[in-house]
A and B are shown apart, each in its own frame.
Chain A
């Protein structure tokens, strides 16, 4: 079946401009995550959506970053007034409802490579 998709795959933008990154999770997956992957920094958690609950925004690095998830499916990560340090690969992942074992794994998208010039 279809996996997690992200668009665009690459985005080059000028410093100060706003960008929107899109994530389409796997159908039926209730949890959705955004991470940032920078060279030498590993996977940095940004935000987590779980069903209809309030999202966990504890990883967003500044108020220039925001995300929403519409209808429990598609999610958009918005970065306002981009800075050069925002350059990174932004990864989206989704996971199905927790099973009887109480655990489910994440399925990752290909990422969006953002370059701020």
Chain B
């Protein structure tokens, strides 16, 4: 069975600080990886996804994530956060192929202080 670990449950940063949120997964096969974001009062929405090719994936709003297969990791990064990045971030994994069951991590709440 696949699982996802997000190590930081609550992160507080000042504006302009750099961000890195950890995500590790456990699954032996080929995976697809996602980061979703939930802004206060809004739906969950896709931030970025990896399915093949370049392991450095760029998403919306200046976010990026790097897939490191040897470490089973897919950490989310942003060089300079803004107050508007305050949200909850979820890492998710599915095994590649037709079966689309997705497993989510517990989420990381990011609070950016102006």
Contacts and interface: CB of A to CB of B under 8 A. Distances in A.
A41 B88 CA distance: 12
Given A43-B90, A43-B107, A56 B45 contact: no
A54 to B, nearest CB: 12
Contact of B43 (A101, A104, A110): A110
B104 A42 contact: yes
A43 B104 contact: yes
B97 interface: yes
B22 interface: no
Interface string B35-47: 0100000011110
Interface of A: 3, 31, 33, 35, 40-43, 45, 48, 50, 56, 91, 93, 95, 98, 101-106, 108-111
Interface of B: 6, 32, 34, 36, 43-46, 49, 51-52, 90, 94, 96-107
Top 9 A-B pairs, shortest CB-CB distance:
A42-B106, A43-B104, A103-B51, A108-B44, A103-B32, A42-B107, A105-B46, A108-B43, A31-B100
